[in-house]
Structure 1
Amino acid sequence: MTEGKKLSSLKLLAKRYARANRITLHQALDLVAVKLGFADWTKLVAVSKSDWVPSSEQMASVEAFVAHALPAADFQTGHPEAMSRRFAFLEQAEHGMIGDHAYRLQVAFHDVIMAGDGWSITVPENPGASPIVQTSTENDGNYPVFDPELLQKALSLVRDRAVQVRGEISTDWPRRSTKPDIDGVVRHPLWGRDSDVWFCLHCHAKITGTQIAQNLWHCPGCGASPPDIFDTAFWCEDEGKSLPPVKTDSALDGDKPDFRVVDDRPKLELNEERITLLIRSALLDDATNISEKLGALQARISVDDENDVWISLEDDLWPHDKEPVQALIVAAQLGLEVELESMWSSIPFAWPGLGELTSRTSEYTQMILDAYAQHYRSPDKQP
């Protein structure tokens, strides 16, 4: 690669870094120069005119630098070699140890989650949201995440990864979405509309363009995500012109974590869908032939507010005098009252009695095919 092409590549990498970190291009150029051992970009360009060309290893180091977005202040005050070690640590951080405690790190819907045995730390996509520390109800609070030293190390790692994720988001968005102009006008990353005033669908207040861009298009009042942010409050008569400025709690990523205890033990929550599934399965247990299986599948099962059950069975598919014993047993296990009734409706196939002759679907299918073929056989082909 020629000198000119390498400098152009460095400029493109700096531009990408500037977008990811929401800083100016000249700041990013200076940071790239520092990464290569120069005081600033001007010194790098001056040396390049004296036949200096970055090596392949130096280009690779800059690419790694750009690929891992971290707060620009870290690079302005830190040593490049220390930053490189930090990058290497982050690259290996999907699974790791803090002291004697193992963790795994993952990104889910732009939230960064560190999980250990019985505990987790979540840094939301929203830059204004506090980290959430969750523990289960077991161990009487003796989780390692309650150790201040371990907690601070874990929070540092999760926050660094969150900055990377937000940088990737910023890179994918238009530059104007994260960099307001002199009048505070920004462009919505999804709708593509420009404005200096924005409105949250859930908050009756105005948000400035600078506020919404700094908060990665999350409402600084309630934390709503970008799809709920609009340039007009179309739900108000005056489109939001009379709304006051948004009230914020000044929450920042560095705030004290939000500790929560969650009971993650499996709980049986019976609703209409789950009750219906169990009752229908029990009806299939009761069925002894294909006709009754179809009757179980076609049965109308309804559940009222008190979880009492009505079972309506098709008269042509389910014998009128046959009691669904297994369904009644399941209902009793669940503490449900059952009402049985017969119904007449459109059945899926003619000659429902054929289903009483077999319990195998393949045999019944052939019977149905033969019966339909026989019914529509033309007279001149009759023996």
Structure 2
Amino acid sequence: MSAREPFAAVDVIRAKRDGLRLTAEQIEWVVDAYTRGVVAEEQMAALAMAVYLRGMDAGETARWTGAMIDSGERLSLHVSRPTVDKHSTGGVGDKITLPLAPLVATCGVAVPQMSGRGLGHTGGTLDKLESIPGWRAQLSPEEIGRQLEDVGAVVCAATPTLAPADRKLYALRDVTATVESVPLIASSIMSKKIAEGAGGLVLDVKVGSGAFMKSLDQARELARALVGIGSAHGVATTALLTDMSTPLGSAVGNAIEVAEAVDVLRGGGPPDVVELTLALAREMLAIAGRADIDPEPVLASGAAYETWCRMIRAQDGDPDAPLPRPAHVHVVPAPESGVLTRLDAYAVGVAAWRLGAGRARKEDPVQAAAGVRCLAKPGERVERGAPLLELHTDTPDAVPYALDALAGSYAVADPGNDDAPAGGEGIVLERVRA
């Protein structure tokens, strides 16, 4: 330990390795020192593994989050209306941000949302929006503030000065098998969201095969950690646990998800996308003190579509321009007549990824027109030989790999069979509040 540093990294690692509670001072120092390059990558990798194995309590997690926030700048949002953000833990066909942000803005609440790109089987909001000709993700803090005041909604990439410690640690966790740690997941999400400066936050914690959290118990644990961090930092936070066993809507990809979101904004769209959009909108409005506003008639009227157009134009996009179309479409027929009993979200997400809609590494390009269109949902009747799925891609050689991913992912049963679904229970499973 040098004269300038109050701790030695090895002592902090040892303490957590042995199951001890890290002090606020240890946490603040190690996150800052890692950001500055004083704590080496291998040392932070060891500490991340110790946290993965030993965990952190609510106080440690809140302080770890605060240290990551303090590693960069906080946005100062000087907006004349209340601000509320939303974050999803990621799913398949999850285009909810696209109709949600303009809807809530149309209801009088500003939505500053910094989003990310897809990785693996989960799509990224920025990838979807970049399929719109001219649209740009990178905005300066001044542009964000101006657009929030003028339009009421902004969806963009995080600014470089926002929680730089998280960017370093996120990349490290990805290559050290320490991603699946609730304290590290929660602090990663919340450090960025709190640094954005919104007055409230609604979290969409996905549950099921297409989600990061496969079980309800796992999702509850993460939701409680997220809400606890928000409360500890004075940000009103609510979490909804929502089903991700089946893809959301019918479109999984980039441009096709934008088209589906526009349908919703024009008063149509798939019922499950509309249901979740309205559920999250109600939570956001409640947090902002506008529970008196019912977003349902606003969405049905198409008024939020006008806000969408203004939001896209403000970021140099053309909302009227044709969206990219795939060079090749492969149709997957229904294997038999009956009721579709299962359509696995994870398998569909992997198929879309292999078709070019997603990426294996953050620097990989994506195809705007690639993806999967689901032509039936569980509970609906299908006829043998009729189209069940459409695979969209610019690279036909990818189709066999997508078909491999879909093998065994869907099933059709006779309506009188016990395997036929009895009907959905709604997409929102639970609510977690402080």
TM-score bucket (shorter structure): under 0.3
Higher relative contact order (CA 8 A, sep 6+): 2
TM-score (norm 1): 0.24
TM-score (norm 2): 0.22
